[in-house]
């Protein structure tokens, strides 16, 4: 907009380009009435007034306030998703309802929902309300890595969440970490360090995190490995195939992603282990041909135990047996 001097209120010439988004050729300066304004990216979020973080390449500007109403529904969905806090029954439709009815005005409200609040919503029978309530209570006991991921910090996915949990024993230690210190962690570059530092100094975020802890959130950190912050499965490449009993394949991938390397989908000579459940086909043959060790689910679990990941203890408290 700056390059082409396109202003708010301008009449512009467009041309068809690609399928959907027309290409703006130029502004028709002759048609200006005098009220047209130049656009500048706001330094505070227009929806909530939160700080805006501009990416280094200036291509993206984001509101850093996790309680921003404009972001709330998506944040609830992410927070509750299987690889984050894994709250069964809190998907898109219900997240939208909770925001619309004002039952959730920021993320900590999720943790204090009562069955009676939910029964007041359309489409909730007694059982559904109690199931969701119970799922929320269970989700309060989780791991630091899952919680970091669930917060939806820009640029911080599952893998980086795992790296941070391996380096910092608990949440307060991570919150205190200065940008320079974060930069010493392998794989964490200046943009991620900046994003983390901004997130944990934003006052709304600090309040939200403190409130969630006060509401009984308990964060275990079985992958903390001290100052060096080495992930238990660092450097190991896994391929999952067939159906697993204890978790879905997606969850197993998430687990490996938090604990070390990203799981890949195809077997190659770089693969370290193939974890196979019943119903496997071509991948198993490929692994055998390349002499790659094939693990059953139980052997995979043993490997995790040997690496010091207390998978069993955390999973057992989950009645559905789905969470690691």
Which spans of this chain sit near Zn ion (rule: CB under 5 A)? 45, 47-48, 50, 63, 65, 68
Q: Considering the complex, what minimum distance in angstroms separates the CB of residue 273 from Zn ion?
A: 43
- C-beta of 65 vs 221, nearer to Zn ion: 65
Q: Considering the complex, what minimum distance in angstroms separates the CB of residue 151 from Zn ion?
A: 15
Q: Considering the complex, what minimum distance in angstroms separates the CB of residue 207 from Zn ion?
A: 15
- C-beta of 47 vs 265, nearer to Zn ion: 47
- Joined together, the tokens standing for residue 10 give 């301008």
Rounded to 5°, angle at Cα 179 from 174 and 181:
70
Give the Cβ contact number of residue 20 at 10 Å: 6
Instruction: Tell me if residue 67 falls in helix, strand or coil.
Output: coil
Give the Cβ contact number of residue 28 at 10 Å: 11
Cα 297 to Cα 15, 242, 267, 275: the distances in Å are 56, 10, 17, 6
Burial class of residue 278 in the structure, from the number of CB atoms within 10 Å of its CB (0-12 exposed, 13-18 middle, 19+ buried): exposed
Q: Considering the complex, what minimum distance in angstroms separates the CB of residue 169 from Zn ion?
A: 31
Phi and psi torsions of 276, nearest 5° = -120, 130
Give the Cβ contact number of residue 194 at 10 Å: 18
- C-beta of 68 vs 144, nearer to Zn ion: 68
Q: In this structure, are strands 218-220 and 238-241 parallel, antiparallel, or unpaired?
A: unpaired
Q: Considering the complex, what minimum distance in angstroms separates the CB of residue 201 from Zn ion?
A: 16
- C-beta of 151 vs 276, nearer to Zn ion: 151
CA dist., res. 258 & res. 82, Å (int): 13
Q: Considering the complex, what minimum distance in angstroms separates the CB of residue 46 from Zn ion?
A: 8
- Joined together, the tokens standing for residue 211 give 């409130």
For the chain, how are helix, strand and coil distributed in percent, rounded to 5? Answer: 40, 10, 45
- C-beta of 207 vs 307, nearer to Zn ion: 207
CA dihedral 202, 164, 95, 112 (to 10 degrees): -80
Q: Considering the complex, what minimum distance in angstroms separates the CB of residue 48 from Zn ion?
A: 4
Could you give the angle at which helices 92-100 and 72-80 cross, rounded to 10 degrees?
140
Q: Considering the complex, what minimum distance in angstroms separates the CB of residue 280 from Zn ion?
A: 47
- C-beta of 17 vs 70, nearer to Zn ion: 70
């Amino acid at each position: 907009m700056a390059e082409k001097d396109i202003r708010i209120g301008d009449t512009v010439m467009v041309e068809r380009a690609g399928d959907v988004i027309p290409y703006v050729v130029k502004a028709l300066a002759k048609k200006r009435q005098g009220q047209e304004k130049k656009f500048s990216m706001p330094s505070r979020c227009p929806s909530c007034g939160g700080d805006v973080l501009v990416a280094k390449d200036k291509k993206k500007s984001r509101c850093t306030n996790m309680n921003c109403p404009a972001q709330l529904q998506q944040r609830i969905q992410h927070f509750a998703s299987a690889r984050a806090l894994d709250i069964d029954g809190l998907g898109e439709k219900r997240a939208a309802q909770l925001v619309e009815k004002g039952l959730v005005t920021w993320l900590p409200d999720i943790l204090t929902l009562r069955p009676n609040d939910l029964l007041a919503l359309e489409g909730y029978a007694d059982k559904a309300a109690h199931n969701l309530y119970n799922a929320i209570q269970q989700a309060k006991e989780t791991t630091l890595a899952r919680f970091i991921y669930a917060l939806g910090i820009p640029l911080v996915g599952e893998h980086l969440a795992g790296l941070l949990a391996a380096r910092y024993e608990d949440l307060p230690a991570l919150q205190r970490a200065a940008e320079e210190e974060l930069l010493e962690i392998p794989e964490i570059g200046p943009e991620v360090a900046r994003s983390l530092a901004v997130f944990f100094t934003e006052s709304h975020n600090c309040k939200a995190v403190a409130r969630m802890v006060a509401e009984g959130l308990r964060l275990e950190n079985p992958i903390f490995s001290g100052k060096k912050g080495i992930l238990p499965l660092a450097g190991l490449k896994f391929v999952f195939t067939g159906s697993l009993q204890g978790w879905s394949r997606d969850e197993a991938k998430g687990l490996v992603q938090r604990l070390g390397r990203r799981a890949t989908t195809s077997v190659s000579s770089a693969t370290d282990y193939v974890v196979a459940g019943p119903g496997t086909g071509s991948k198993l043959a490929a692994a055998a041909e390349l002499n790659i060790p094939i693990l059953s689910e139980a052997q995979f679990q043993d490997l995790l135990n040997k690496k010091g990941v207390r998978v069993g203890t955390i999973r057992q408290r989950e009645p559905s047996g789905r969470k690691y």
